[in-house]
Amino acid sequence: MIKFDVKVGKIGIEEGVHIIPMYEEDVPRPAVELPDNVKDLISKVAGRDFKGRLEEVYIIPTIVPGGPERIVLTGLGKRDELELDSFRRAYGRAALRIDESMSETAFAPIVSDVFDLESTTESIIEGIELSMYRFDRYRSEKKEQKLKHVTLLVNDESSLSKVKKSVEVAGKICRGVYTARDLTNMPSIDCYPEKFAKIVYEIGRRAGFKVRVYQVKEIEDMSMGGILAVGGGSIHKPVLIELEYDGTGGRNDRPYIIVGKAVTFDSGGISIKPSEKMEEMKYDKAGGAAVVGVLEALASLRLPIRVIGLIPCVENLPSGTAYRPGDIIRFRNGKSAEIISTDAEGRLILADALSYAVEKNPKALIDLATLTGACIIALGTHASGLFTNNQEIAEKIKRSGERTGERVWQLPLWKQYKEQLRSDVADLKNVGGRPAGAITAAAFLSEFVGETVWVHLDIAGTAYTQETSESKSYIPKGATGVGVRLIVDYLINEVEQKESK
């Protein structure tokens, strides 16, 4: 992780590398006040060699006496198209270029002429910090991170405390994203259910949230037939992991509950998947990994809120003990499902976890799951699918999606879709055919939440980078950690809304 400082200062009068953000215009202009000698250098390339396009970077070697070694121009794109994500992408790309060979130290100004100072600062920190993520634990030769220190420059003393606070908040959230990415990226041979639970326990111990792991016998006693069925084909037994962070000072408030699907490897079971790209099925634990990242961030931020995380964790493999098409299984809430495909396993383990969550009377219930390929067909890889029984929470999650760049798009949950799940021999079928596959999967889950305020996020297209994923500087190849920043932003706003009343 990078060390960040904040101080009052100006671009062009410090040694080291200086990052200057610029907009795209007919003649791009700097987004910060600059000394005349630096302006002269920029004017030689602005609008010619450097256009200011989003994530475009141009490096100017300098000979300014007592000034910077190099100036790194980074493009924010068109000013009238500026988003908070533009800052993540622009500063992230600049950080990557600096890290290649230039310097251990960089200076970067805070630009807040469109968005508020806090949001802009957090976006800049996220862009720089998340662009530095590497999953290299299995490489014999590791590339050392060169960029280690960034100083943010503000114009006056009155901005210092706000910016410092935003730097601290963003850094802690990024730590949670790192954790989610690490867990998602880990190969299944080293991250099967019991091992996943052990890793989560250690994270909780360090971060300051409680972890309880339910083993097979306890899961049987809890009547969780979905988790037991899906996990029955592997020598690695299923677990249910319960996390709790309580920052309310013992007030015992109703909790927010976040449920995350964690299939440490999904072969499809007896309804086995094609071999092509099956190696990507280690990413099927991304929902559970995001829950861990959220809890770690909340504990680090000491947010005054009570949050419970539930992670049903299984490995879905074919064997003589695996569940089969045609089987009928019963869930914790008493409902039964006829198994049409053992590759529609995520909804089965979530059904038990959601039923258990409802019993805890949550204020709101959110689940994240790499649930359906159909969601990728519907939305591609640029947004997560959102399904809900409550429009108010949907709008809040949408706003958080725009702020964090982890966008969501709402799809309907009309009762007609449930007709596709009718079974002749059980309460439900676990698949409703190819039409509207993401919606019928969400409709299946809705049978287990009752009247609880609930949002389902299908992150199949956003949990890891795929062929059609947009290239972004702060999202390296592999796991994205999607959901951590989105849910933490939502919860921070819930706290702020409560405190403002």
Element containing residue 316 per DSSP (H, E): strand 306-316
According to DSSP, the residues that pair with 257 across neighbouring strands are: 308, 365
**Radius of gyration (Cα) for the chain, nearest Å?**
24
Residue 360 is among the residues annotated as catalytic for this protein: no
How many CB atoms within 10 Å of residue 300?
Answer: 20
Helices (H), 132-186: 160-185
Give how far Cα 68 sits from Cα of 17, 32, 106, 120, 134, Å: 6, 16, 9, 24, 28
Q: Label the pairing between strands 105-109 and 149-154.
A: parallel
Best CA proximity match to 296, nearest among 109, 484, 30: 484
Q: Which of 88, 89, 347, 407 is catalytic?
A: 347
Q: Which of 130, 97, 50 is nearest to 484 (CA)?
A: 130
Query: Does the annotation count 347 as an active-site position?
Result: yes
| Side chain identity at residue 253, one-letter code | D
Collapsing DSSP states into helix, strand and coil, what is residue 77? Answer: strand
- Pairing outcome for strands 149-154 and 210-214: unpaired
- Give 91-156 as a DSSP string: HHHHHHHHHHHT-SEEEEE---SSS-HHHHHHHHHHHHHHHT----TT-SS-PPP---EEEEEESS
Q: Is 235 left (phi over 0), alpha (psi -120 to 50) or beta?
A: alpha
Strand partners, 328: 338
**Identified catalytic residue from 198, 210, 273, 360:** 273
Q: How far is CA 66 from CA 5, 37, 139, in A?
A: 21, 12, 40
CB contact at 8 A, 28 and 174: no
Per-residue tokens: 179: 């954790």
First to last CA, the chain: 37
What is the spatial order of strands in the sheet that 105-109 belongs to? 3-8, 149-154, 105-109, 17-24, 70-78, 57-61
SS3 state at 432? coil
Residues that are catalytic: 273, 347
